[in-house]
Amino acid sequence: MPVLPDAQAVQDLFKQHFGFRPAHVTRAPGALEVLGSYAAGNEGLALMAAVDRYAYVAASPRTDGKIELIDADRAPEILWISEPKANASSPWANVFKAVLRELRQRKVHFSGFNAAVHSDIPTGIRLGEDAAAAVAAALMMRTLFPFGLGDSGSTVPPRRDDRGHLPPLPAPDRHHFARVAASALAGAGRGADHWPLCLTSLLGKKWNLLSLDCRFKSVTPTPFLGTALIVCDSGVCAAEAAVGMAEIQEHCLAAARGLRAKSLRSLEPRTLRSAREQLEPRDFACADHVVGEVQRVAAAERALQHEDHRQLGNYVSLSHESLRDGVAASSPELDLLVALARSHDGCLGARAFGGGFGGATVSVVAYHSAEAFMTHMAQSYEAKTGKKLKPFVCQIVDGAGGPENR
């Protein structure tokens, strides 16, 4: 298969620094939350897509027990295999090192190596850049030092073929790798809600949306053809985003405790609203959004099975209204982007994704209208705000670990 431009870029970066070509390159796609905000922390449902923006790792083994990690325009990070500790002066390397710590806890053995990391996933808009980086790092470790993963840790390693390639990562193993990546991100201080993003990066299926059940850890692909997913970056990376998202999750947990429910997934909208007086107003508002989101995802899945993309888009728009009006987690820029999107005839629905508080919107658009829609969004947003906007289509791709992503 042809080498993708950014795969070539990470190989060139590796050769420029180390003086020789890397032995292996791995990549993992970004992940887009189409519907299902705050699902991970509340055992909810989410509708996800693996998208054509990738995190890359190029690497070769070395024999002195050291690890050297590099990224473009940043100082290299050199460490011993026994000390993959976080380093405040090199935060870019902390995700990779967190993956090493997680693998070490699972009794995975590895020795020294050189690695270059690179990503073409836009930062700050929550397309799963951290999840993809963690997944690509875990897959690189499997490539350099073959191992399997099970419930109790490392298992029998896979065998290389005559060309030195490992077999594709089996689906059950992809679940274990997703847990490693999500635990690594939590350990690196990147939040505890990355499991849907990590699993999507590993189990994505081309031209399909994934229905994720965060209670039962199940994944179901459903074809999604003839409709485009278009992302518009608001240009706002709110400093308080992580705090605001954590605050909403705390109110969700408080509501579940107040109603003696295992999680908000256990509550029907009617049950929650009948118990409204038992909860603090903010607890109820956050819980109402999440419980409603479970219902919207379930309804959207049924619409998707019947290829009713217009109805799917309607649930996407309702999700944004709940995020905006129910929990006040939107922003003027996001609201403007959603309003502009919905004013275009080709748009079936639009919402802020990733929990709100800045970032980007995703619009469900009839495929034949995609180009006109992006022109409309760029021109209208600049006319309203004076800011440039570069909408882009997210192609839905296969997840990492298969033969096409080795």
Scanning the structure block, which residue is given the tokens 């969004």? Answer: 377
Count CB neighbours of 230 within 10 A: 22
- The domains of the chain, with CATH numbers, are 5-223 (3.30.230.10), 227-394 (3.30.70.890)
Question: What are the start-end ranges of the H helices in 343-386?
Answer: 370-385
pLDDT at 2 (0 to 100): 42
Average pLDDT, integer, range 331-359: 94
Q: How confident is the model at residue 240 (pLDDT cuts 50, 70, 90)?
A: low
In three-state form (DSSP H/G/I as H, E/B as E, the rest C), the secondary structure along 321-334 is: HHHHHHCCCCCHHH
103-142 pLDDT, tens digit each: 999 999 999 999 999 999 998 889 999 999 999 999 999 9
Return the closest-CA partner of residue 353 out of 81, 34, 134, 115.
34
Q: Regarding predicted confidence, which is higher, 6 or 171?
A: 171
Q: How confident is the model at residue 218 (pLDDT cuts 50, 70, 90)?
A: very high
Instruction: Using DSSP, state whether 89 is helix, strand or coil.
Output: coil
Report whether pLDDT(239) > 60. no
Report whether pLDDT(65) > 80. yes
Alpha-carbon distances of 8 from 4, 5, 118, 221, rounded to whole Å: 6, 5, 10, 31
pLDDT at 354 (0 to 100): 84
The fraction of the chain above a pLDDT of 90, given in percent, is 84
Please answer whether residues 106 and 180 qualify as being in contact, where contact means their C-beta atoms are separated by less than 8 angstroms.
yes
pLDDT at 5 (0 to 100): 63
Q: Would you tell me the crossing angle of helices 309-321 and 332-342 to the nearest 10 degrees?
A: 150
In whole numbers, what is the pLDDT of the chain averaged over residues?
93
Sequential DSSP letters for 186-252:
HHTTS-S--HHHHHHHHH--TTEEEEEETTTTEEEEEE--SEEEEEEEEEEE-TTHHHHHHHHHHHH
Distance separating alpha carbons of residues 60 and 220, to the nearest angstrom = 36
Distance separating alpha carbons of residues 15 and 70, to the nearest angstrom = 11
Count CB neighbours of 305 within 10 A: 12
pLDDT at 1 (0 to 100): 36
* Range from 135-144, 169-178, 237-246, 386-395 carrying the lowest mean pLDDT: 237-246
pLDDT at 26 (0 to 100): 96
For CA atoms 347, 31, 206, 305, give the dihedral sign: negative
Q: How confident is the model at residue 87 (pLDDT cuts 50, 70, 90)?
A: confident
